[in-house]
Structure formats: structure tokens, C-alpha cells
Amino acid sequence: MVATTQQKPGADNKKIDDKKTSKTEPKKEEMTEEDQKLEEDLNLLVQRLSEPDASLHKPSLETMRSLIRASTTSMTSVPKPLKFMRPHYVKMKEIFAAIRDTDAKKLCADIISVLAMTSDERTDTINYRILGSHEPIGDWGHEYVRHLAMEMSEEWKKEGTSDARKAELLQLTQDIVSHHMKHNAEVEACDLLIEIERLDLLNSYVQEVDHQRVCLYLLSCAPLTPDPDNVILIRTALQLYLKFGRYLEAVRCAIMVNDVPKVREIFSNAADPLLRKQMAILLGRHQIFLDYEDAEDSDALSELNSNSHLYEYFHSLARELDIMEPKTPEGIYKSHLEHSRPFGNSSQPDSTRMNLAAALVNGFVNCGFGVDKMMAETEEASRWFYKNKEYGMLTAAASQGLIWRWDIDTGLAQCDRFLYINDDYIKAGTLLAIGIISSGIQDACDPASALLLDHVQSDRSIMRVGSILGLGLAYANSKRETVTKNEERGVIFELKKVLSDQKPSAIPEVKGLAGLSLGLILVGTADAEAAMEMLQALMDKSETELTDPNMRFLALGIALIFLQTQDKSDVFVESLRSLPDPFGAMVSTLVEVCAYAGTGNVLKIQKLLHLCSEHYETPVPEKKTNAARKNAASATSATTATTATPARPAAQSGSTDNTTTPAPSGTPTVAPGAPKREGAGAATTSTPATGTTGAATTEGTPAAPAKPDLSSQQAVAVLGIGLIAMGDDIGSQMALRMFGHLIRYGEPVIRRAVPLALSLLSVSNPQLNILETLSKFSHDSDPDTAHNAIFAMGLVGAGTNNARLVAMLRNLASYHYKDQVSLMLVRIAQGLTHLGKGTMTLNPWHSDRQLLSPSALASLLSICYCFLDANNTVLNSRQHYLLYTLVLAMQPRMLTTLVEDEMKPGSLKQMNVSVRVGQAVDVVAQAGKPKTITGFQTHTTPVLLAHGERAELANDEYISVTPHLEGLVILKKNPDYQPVVVSSKK
């Protein structure tokens, strides 16, 4: 026993030594005979190359090349020849230097280039490839080509690369791209060219068979790349589409970069009359209205582009769905289902706000149907109008515009009844209604400009309000001569005159709306001249005058002019900083945010988050408990509640609204966006949103001179995050997480803006997580946050009839039954949820979520911007008519199919065909021809398309002119179609 135990340690040591040697030495015994022979052959070849006999070099290299190429590789292991040659890598480089024969030297360079894949030397693969014999690049296998492409992007970006070197690299790049394109690796080819910023080379390599895949990939990459690369991607896709005669897709690309001259050029090149008509329909849906005087079929094109028949197709959809029966507001509220309180006054008297809400809801629900139960009879309508006061009458009268939306002939006849009444408010509301009816419709007779321009320079400010906003809605994003001409009766010319008008009726409200209307008409044009005139109007104002909430609309107008123009706005953003803070900081941020709206630009979002992280508060004594802080804040709000709304200028006093309700306690007097007053107005200073100034003064501590309160800029920054991130799904999900942080740790001003930003991310798309979040905020202790959340719920569910949301809003109505303002907003949100009885959408994205309608985006931004300072705009019993800016985003979410009418050549008629509707599937960069929809159902057109749904034709009888079945789609007969004959058995 003893002997054996003594021997054990020695045996263990021997085992350990064996392990060590086995780690250091390669395991020869595991190699197969084939592998051993391969290694010996390769070693022998290297040995031969080292010998001075030059005649052996070339045959040895050729044998080595054939051995390396013959090896097969898997994804997980290095090929055997490369593995065995790796120790000889340095030796091979020495051999290369020693070889004199040119052919042998090139062959050696090729082999070293391949070996370099396994070495740690960067760029050797490229360098030796350039020195090599330039054989076809694919001969060494796909992995070698990928390795070259990976090194190429690093080498290209190195500092100090000479032009000669770049030329060599470019030649190699072209070889790589050519190989990729031939071997169905279009995505890798695009990636390499994007990396080295030479997408212009792509045009010569793409073939017709794969141009669709390449363009789809480029367009889907655009939201993920910073500017100006994103525009280059879209323009490259445009060139490819034009190369292969895909004019409709090319027009879509031109619309994406807002290049109207290019749209006109493509239009003139397209010869197919049906294709031109489909383009006109697409431009009309995007609200780009052009003049077609020179075209052969100018009448048909302008008719389709002007959307003048849209209401007929919409009514046919409504009849198909059997929803033409008008609905009343009570039918929407279903207040008998709300939890009634036993001692609460369940039958509330008619209040001004409830009547106002009823008028708006009636308009929203029956929007576009041309029938309702409140406005049909003149006497009934008048009775409704007079239930409201002053500005309430204006808003109620304007709601008739929603009901006859798109139907200009009938609508104007109905409005004509109220244009000759003595009451200015009803007349002004009717003018606004005319603007609403005409919005998105460009009638050649231009009834809107004919009727409204007469009142733009009126002596009564209320008439100017109705006509100016009406013009802004009627001609949003129009590029027609009537609108742009720089002379009397030109819409833009007349609105510019208002900015410098000195008449008593040119109150700040009128000038603010003129700025907003100019912004809507010139949306996304980057028109520096108009923007300069608006900036000049702001510069002429004193710091105190800039505190008027209406001045913020001039700022919004400037921002809308630069919507989606990206770097074109940079110079203007800097010049806006010259305005006094905090107004200047807020406006410059607003313009920058608009310029990058919908682009998904990550760098801009980071910058905005940085702005949101700032804290604007005056220094307070340290060691202060949270409770004391809360008390101080409530004390401040109590003192400031007395000055709820800033005093209107004297010129306006004649038409002030005496029913202005004081702001709920706890809200700042001038909400985010209105700058602080200084100097003489110190008594009515608006407190910063943090409420800590009051704390400092109440304790008798002298307030140190603090940096200006830029909380208004923060509110705009939060909206901006939502506005920029709405461009792509990944960005939207990231933004949701960021908003979670802002809610927890942000200032009150930021918290108020978050619900609005959330709604921008998900317009007319009631996702459960967003609804739950908004529902939580709608019960918030801060009334402003609750108001914004309630309205945001309306935007998120607009036009969806979402059952969960309807139940949430019904519960909210019983929760806020005492608070008239909140209850009015709940009613409006209910109306929005049932927008067009569930047939419409406010979502600005269309054409398979690739095009972002600028006028729709402008309308959503405008209303969310108003709600940042709701107590001084939408909720001040005066400017609730601003809710009608939403009209520009209201579009039917239908699919209607049209074919050429054989009885009347040149015109179109509706044709009902079978289509499959299902959830859209992302097929970017997928191999083969994958299915584009999943979980589909077959319907007969016209059909409704929900958010995220896509349609395709169910059989081959017709061919669609457009690849995206949405809105109005023109079909043509398929000449090769063979109907399926079912033989019946006898």
C-alpha cells in the first residue's frame, strides 16, 4: 500500500507535463493522411520557392494556387491550405520580394493576398491584390471578396490617402461590386458603395432583373442614414427607376426629396396615359397640385390631381359599408353607459364648452358624408350656432365645412345660406368652413380665393381670422399659379401684406394666423423670402410684445416653410438666434426640428435630448425637503392663478371674449413657449415651470440673476424627438424608451409635452402600450398634462373606432365629470376616435408608409404645438377654431379600384375586384420572391385598409398600374389572362 501511494505524485506530474506539451505542440496524431500529405506538399512548395532556381518558382506557385482553390470551406472553419500556410506567411512575403520574374511575382502576390485573410496584418489583402495578376475576383471564393470589401471601407476612410491610391482602390471596388451584382449579393454591393460614398457607380452595374431589390434596399436605408447621405440614397434609387422606365416609382422618389421640378420632368417623359393619371392621383393624395395646361389630356389630369371626385368614391365606400346614416354626438358619447354618480347632477345644463364639443364632434364623425342631423336644416343649424357665444359661434359654424368636406359644389351652396347673416362670428365661421371644404381640393374656378380674399383686409378682425385661416387650409402645399403669383389677388401676396398691416383690425391674433397660413401654403419649400418677411415682423416686436402667445404662430409659420428641408435651414436657424431669449432659442429649435421631421436623424435626437436634460431654476437654499418644495410650488401657483391669461392689447379689447375661464390652479400663467416678461411687468411675471422662484422669494432670499428660462425650448425639443423619430419603426421604439425617462426625471414642462410627442409617434395607430401610458397621464394631478394626454388619446385612435380606447374615454368622461375643460377634451377625443365613422386616418404616411405628406404633418405639428400652451390658445374659450388645422391630415383610408371606361374613352369608372388584405411583411433584402402580406382575407373593393395593412390583387385578370394598392388605384386588363375553367363531371 505504501509503495503505491508514494508513486502517485510522480504519475500526476507526468500527466501534467503531457498536458503542457500537448497544448504547445500541434496534435499531429489527429490529422488524417490526406491532411498530412497536403501539409507536406505545401511545405515542399514553400521550400522550392526559397531555392535560388527561378525556373521552379512559377510551377510551384501554380501548384500552390490550385491546392488552395481546390479546398472547400465551411462557415465555421478556416480552409486547410490556409491553415497550413499561415506559419509561412512572413516567409512568403520575403519570397515575393526576392522573385524577379514579373508573372511569377504577380502570381505570388495573389496567393499572399488570400493568405492575408488569416493574418493580423491590416490591408495586406488589398495591397497584394493590387500588385497581383488581376484575375477575376470571384475565383478565390465569396469569403475572399467579402474580406476585401470589409478592408476597403477602412482603407478608403484613412486620412491622407493620395489620389493615385484612391484610383487603385476604386478600380478594385468596381471589381467587387460587379462580382456582387452577378451573384445576387446586391445588398453587399450597395453597402460597400454607401461606405465609400460612391453610389454613383451603382447605375452602371444594376440590371433590370435586380433593380427592384436594389431600389427597395436603398429606400429602406434612407431613414437610417444621416444627411446628406439619405438624400443621395433616394436620388440614386430615382436614377435607377428612370433607367428602367419605372416612372411612377421615380415620381415617388422625387416626392420624397420634395423635388417638384423633377416631378414635372418625369411627368413629361411618361407616355402611357393611364400611368400619367395614376401619377396625378398620387400627387393629389400627397397634396402637390400642379398646372397641366401643356399636356394633351390636361383636363383629365387636373381633375384627378385636384381630388375633385374624391367625395364620390368616398360615398360609394360608405354605401358599401352601409354607414351613410348620420350620427349624433350623443350617439357617440353613449353617456347612458358612463358610470353615473347617484348624487351627481347627471342631467347637466347646456354649458358653452359642451355645445362647442358637440359641434366639433358632429363635424368629425360625419366628416365627408354630406349628411348630418344638426346642419341640414337652416333653422336647426342657426339654433345650434346661437347656443354658443362669440368665438364659439365661429367654431360651430365652421364645423359645417367638415360635413361637406371635398364636395365643393354642394358644400358652397350650403355655406352660402350663412354668408349674409348679420352676425360676424357666424359669417367668419362660414368663411373658415369654405376653406375646410376646399382643403385638399384644387378647383380650377378657385372658389376659396374668390370668396375669402375679399375679407383678408377687412376692418373687422373676426372676419380676417376666418378668412386667413380658411385660405391657409384651402391652399396648403399648393404650387399653382393662382396661389404663388406675386401680385394683387395672389393668395401668398395678400397674406404677406397682413404681416406689415397697421390697421386697428390687424390684432396680434390676425398676424399670427397669417404667419401660420403662409407656413401651411409654403410648407417644405424653404422659401427664404417669405421666411425673412416673417422674421422681420418678429424682429420689429419688442420683448414684451413677443410674449403674446399669437407671436408663436409666426414662429411656427417660419418652421413649416422649412419642414423636411434638412440642411437648407441651417443659415436661417442661426439668424433666428438673434431674437431675444427665450423666444429666439425656442424658434430656432422649432425650425431645426421641422427641418429634420420624419428623417429619423439620430444625431438631432441626441442634441434634443441634451436640451431636455437642462434644469432651469433659480438657486434655492439647499437641504430643502420635497414637501417644502411642493408647498412653495403650490403657493406660487396660487398667487399666479389670478393672472391666468395675459392681457390682450388695447386694440383687441373691442372684441375680447368675456367668458374667458381662469386657468386651473397649478398651471403656469404663461405656459411653455411664451417668454418671460421683464422690467415694468414684473408684477405679472410668469413663473418658470419648476415653481421654485416663488420658493426663493417667499423665503426672503434674494434671487440671483439666473440664466433665462428656456423651458419653452425644452417643450419644443420633446415634440421634436417624436417628430423626427416617426420616420422609422426602430427610431419610434427607441423614442418610447426615452420618453419613459423624460417622464420620470424631466421638468413639468417636459412632462406636459411627452403625451403629445407620444401621439405623433403613433397617429391613428392605437398601440396598446401607448394607450396605456396615455391613459395613466390622463389621470395626472397636473391638469395640463392630463389635458394633453386626453387630446393625444384622440390623435392616437383617430378614425379607428378602437373598442378599448372608446371604453377608456367613457371612463374618463365619468372621472372628469366636474371639470368642464377636461370633459370637453374627452368629448373631442371621442369624436376623433370615430372620425368619419371609422373610415379616415390622420396618419401623414401613405403609399406603403414611404411618403410623408407635408401638409398632413404640418397640421399635426400645428395642433400639438398649440397644446404646448393650451391655456392661451385652444382652451382659452377663444382660439378653439385652431382644432380645424387637423383637417389637412384627414384622409379616407380606403382602396378603390378604377378602370378605363370603354363607353367614354379617356375617363375612368369604378370597378369592383377581389383583393387580398393582410398585415404587411418587410421583404427588404430577402432572397427570391417572398410573400408581401400575411394572414390575409379576401374582399371586394372598395375596402378599408387599417394601419400596417397592405393589399394585393387576388387574381391575374387585371394588372395594377401602381405597385402599391392604396387610395385610388387604376387597373388595366391583363392580355395574357386565361380564366380558370372548371370542368363539370357528367
Say which residue the cell 427592384 belongs to.
Answer: 212
Contacts of 79 by beta carbon, 8 Å cutoff, 6+ apart: 68, 71, 72, 73
The total of other beta-carbon atoms located within 10 Å of residue 228's CB is: 11
| Comparison of pLDDT for 415 and 755, the residue scoring more | 755
Mean residue pLDDT of the chain comes to: 78
Check residue 222 and report its DSSP letter.
Answer: G
3-state helix, strand, coil in the chain (%, to 5): 60, 5, 35
Instruction: Look up residue 954 and give its three cell numbers.
Output: 387576388
Per-residue model confidence (pLDDT) at position 327: 79
Specify which of 196-205, 292-301, 360-369 reaches the highest per-range mean pLDDT.
360-369
Contact (CB, 8 A) for 452 and 434: yes
Binned at pLDDT 50, 70 and 90, residue 698 comes out as very low
Q: How far is CA 900 from CA 273, 445, 954, in A?
A: 10, 26, 20
Instruction: Look up residue 805 and give its three cell numbers.
Output: 380606447
Instruction: Look up residue 619 and give its three cell numbers.
Output: 438657486
912-962: pLDDT as tens digits: 888 999 888 888 877 777 888 888 888 888 888 888 888 988 888 888 888
> H or E stretch including 151?
helix 142-156
Looking at 439-577, list the stretches that DSSP marks H as alpha helix, in order from N- to C-terminal side: 447-456, 461-474, 481-484, 491-499, 508-521, 528-539, 551-561, 570-576
Per-residue model confidence (pLDDT) at position 661: 39
Say which residue the cell 497550413 belongs to.
Answer: 84
Check residue 289 and report its DSSP letter.
Answer: B
Instruction: Look up residue 773 and give its three cell numbers.
Output: 401610458
CA dist., res. 210 & res. 188, Å (int): 13
Contacts of 700 by beta carbon, 8 Å cutoff, 6+ apart: none
Binned at pLDDT 50, 70 and 90, residue 674 comes out as very low
Inform me whether the pLDDT recorded for 553 exceeds 60: yes
Inform me whether the pLDDT recorded for 888 exceeds 60: yes
Inform me whether the pLDDT recorded for 704 exceeds 50: no
Q: Pick from 886, 892, 863, 856: which is nearest to 523 by CA?
A: 856
660 CB-side CA count, 13 A: 20
Per-residue model confidence (pLDDT) at position 616: 67
Using the CB atoms, write b or e for 326-335: b if 16+ within 10 Å.
bbebeebbeb
Q: State how beta strands 845-846 and 894-900 pair.
A: unpaired
Q: How far is CA 877 from CA 274, 374, 929, in A?
A: 50, 22, 57
Least confident of 276-285, 518-527, 976-985: 976-985
Check residue 655 and report its DSSP letter.
Answer: G
Binned at pLDDT 50, 70 and 90, residue 755 comes out as very high
Q: How far is CA 804 from CA 757, 770, 793, 923, in A?
A: 21, 12, 11, 31
Round the CA-based radius of gyration of the chain to a whole number and report it. Answer: 35
Instruction: Look up residue 38 and give its three cell numbers.
Output: 497536403
Contact (CB, 8 A) for 575 and 534: no
List the beta bridge partners of residue 840.
Answer: 892
- High-pLDDT (> 90) share of the chain, %: 3
Say which residue the cell 371604453 belongs to.
Answer: 807
Mean pLDDT for 852-879 is 86
Contact (CB, 8 A) for 923 and 963: no
Q: Residue 920 in 3-state DSSP?
A: strand
Q: Pick from 761, 763, 743, 764: which is nearest to 753 by CA?
A: 743
Using the CB atoms, write b or e for 17-52: b if 16+ within 10 Å.
eeeeeeeeeeeeeeeeeeeeebbeebeebbebbeee
419 burial class (0-12, 13-18, 19+ CB within 10 angstroms)? middle
List the beta bridge partners of residue 891.
Answer: 841
Q: State how beta strands 894-900 and 908-910 pair.
A: antiparallel
Inform me whether the pLDDT recorded for 695 exceeds 70: no
Contact (CB, 8 A) for 861 and 855: no
Q: Pick from 399, 397, 387, 403: which is nearest to 351 by CA?
A: 387
Check residue 52 and report its DSSP letter.
Answer: S
Inform me whether the pLDDT recorded for 569 exceeds 60: yes
> H or E stretch including 666?
none
Alpha carbon 531 to chain centroid, angstroms: 23
Mean pLDDT for 648-663 is 39
pTM, whole model, 2 decimals? 0.80
Q: Residue 441 in 3-state DSSP?
A: coil
Mean pLDDT for 864-874 is 85
Per-residue model confidence (pLDDT) at position 77: 62
328-361: pLDDT as tens digits: 777 777 777 766 554 444 445 557 778 888 888 8
Check residue 440 and report its DSSP letter.
Answer: T
Inform me whether the pLDDT recorded for 11 exceeds 60: no
Binned at pLDDT 50, 70 and 90, residue 788 comes out as very high
Per-residue model confidence (pLDDT) at position 790: 92
Binned at pLDDT 50, 70 and 90, residue 78 comes out as low
630-651: pLDDT as tens digits: 444 444 444 333 333 333 343 3
Q: Pick from 906, 908, 883: which is nearest to 897 by CA?
A: 908
Q: Pick from 947, 619, 510, 930: which is nearest to 765 by CA?
A: 947
Q: Residue 937 in 3-state DSSP?
A: strand
Mean pLDDT for 851-866 is 89
Per-residue model confidence (pLDDT) at position 657: 41
Say which residue the cell 371635398 belongs to.
Answer: 406
Q: How far is CA 623 from CA 101, 620, 626, 628, 634, in A?
A: 84, 9, 10, 10, 19
Per-residue model confidence (pLDDT) at position 16: 54
215-231: pLDDT as tens digits: 888 888 887 887 778 88
Q: Residue 505 in 3-state DSSP?
A: coil
Binned at pLDDT 50, 70 and 90, residue 76 comes out as low
Q: Residue 520 in 3-state DSSP?
A: helix
105-159: pLDDT as tens digits: 888 888 888 888 887 777 778 888 888 888 888 777 778 888 888 888 788 777 6
Inform me whether the pLDDT recorded for 6 exceeds 50: no
Binned at pLDDT 50, 70 and 90, residue 708 comes out as low
